[in-house]
Amino acid sequence: MTLISKFKKDIGILQAAANKEIYLDVKNPKLYKKVKRYYQNEIDYNDEDPEADYSLVVECLRQDLEAVK
């Protein structure tokens, strides 16, 4: 399942997070947890550094959303 099909109703929020207009973990923590879970097979999370984890998630979001354009 692609990011777009899984989160189609939240694409605007995800795009804003990818563009660094909002902080997804602050603005919508439930959605952030879902997106983080979506990328769990692609990202090796370091739970001791949440900022690094967030940066990795946002980078993956940016790349996936760019691929759709």
Per-residue pLDDT, 56: 96
Task: Return phi, psi of residue 29, to 5°.
Answer: -60, -30
pLDDT tens string 14-60? 999 999 999 999 999 999 999 999 999 999 998 899 999 999 999 99
Angle among Cα 25, 64, 60 to the nearest 5 degrees reads 45
Model pTM above 0.85:
yes
How far is it, in rounded angstroms, from Cα 63 to Cα 56? 11
Burial (Cβ within 10 Å: 0-12, 13-18, ≥19) of residue 5: exposed
Spatial contact of 28 and 15, defined as CB atoms under 8 Å apart:
no
